[in-house]
Amino acid sequence: MTAAKSLASRALSWWWGIAATLLATSLCAVLLPTPFMNEVMIFAIYVSGCNFLIGRLGFISFGQPAYLAIGAYCTAFYLFYVGTNPLVGLGVGVLGGLLGAIIIGPFFVRLRSDYFAMVNLALAVVLFYVTQKLLVSITGGDNGLWFLTQMQSTPLLDLTAPAQFLWFAIIVATAVTVMFKYLDGTIFGACCLASRLNEDKLQFIGYDNFKIRLVAFIIANTVTALAGAMYAIYFGFVSPEMGSPSRAAEPVIVTLLGGVGTLAGPLIGAFAYTGMKDVISNLIGNWELFIGFLLVFIMLVADQGIWGTLPPAARALLVHLRRAAGRARN
């Protein structure tokens, strides 16, 4: 009976957390500018894959722009050359990301630490060159592919309308969050964490480290490709700049900023990073330098990221206030 109550309590707190996040995001969607919120929601989905790789597998990847570009270009190729339905284009982008991760994964997940980070960065460099120079006749090179006016309206939520696209992005981001939360509570999620902490023991009890890392790699980078497909549909345009290696550190930085391995970290990090970028770039020209110093300061003060630091600090403050109130009454 006690175990059943404990399970019910955990399930209730689980859904309350998801509902609270969805409510807060919906409130922001009403109060904040639509372009800003669209960028935040897609960026949060993009960072979710990187957050899973770092938080669960300990894999730091500087190649996420490559997987983002795979999803974006697969969607763009469909919408520019083949069809007009954004939902089908989204599916093509996700499928392209899935196939790309399945092909690349068996080679990359055998590597660890710096080697994994560098080989992913090399992939981003190669893919950037291919889209910018090698396949100009197909990708359009630096001019990119424009298909905004070619897309048809979709039922229920029209993905060609920014305001309705935002609610679609919120639904997708919530679904991604629920998926990663579910994975955290499964044996697979525990094995991912064990693979990062002690792979020898995991191998000893009969689990295959390679297969666990491969499946996790595929899941993470398929989600990244999903974000790329959504970028393509939202802007109605793709170019090699989307997968530029110069942006390789962004998802890692935002993951650290939000809180590595935390469920709400990608969303909080995306809000903070995009907000700082938009505000500071309007005030000074060299905004990247200022944000760099600011991020270093935040990491030194809150080494567990925003979401990994603020809730425990708030709980500690609440406990302190309750104790102070109790002493005052006595």
**pLDDT tens-digit map of 145-188:** 999 989 999 988 999 999 999 999 999 999 999 999 889 888 99
Residue 177 lies in a domain: yes
Residue 158 lies in a domain: yes
Per the listing, tokens 């899935």 go with 98
What pLDDT is stored for residue 198 in this prediction? 82
Structure tokens at 99: 């196939």
Residue 322 lies in a domain: no
Q: What is the mean pLDDT of residues 80-98?
A: 95
Q: How many domains are contained in the chain?
A: 1
Distance CA 199, CA 58 (A): 11
What pLDDT is stored for residue 303 in this prediction? 65
Q: What is the mean pLDDT of residues 298-317?
A: 72
Residue 205 has pLDDT above 50, yes or no: yes
**Nearest by Cα to 46 from 72, 80, 78:** 72
Residue 213 lies in a domain: yes
Task: For residue 143, give its domain range.
Answer: 34-248
Q: Of residues 183 and 281, which shows the higher confidence score?
A: 183
What pLDDT is stored for residue 14 in this prediction? 60
List, in sequence order, every beta strand (DSSP E) within 229-298: 237-238
Residue 128 lies in a domain: yes
Residue 25 has pLDDT above 90, yes or no: no
Distance CA 72, CA 84 (A): 15
- Cα dihedral across residues 127, 129, 130, 131: positive or negative: positive
Residue 329 has pLDDT above 50, yes or no: yes
Which of the four pLDDT bands, split at 50, 70 and 90, describes residue 35?
very high
Residue 292 lies in a domain: no
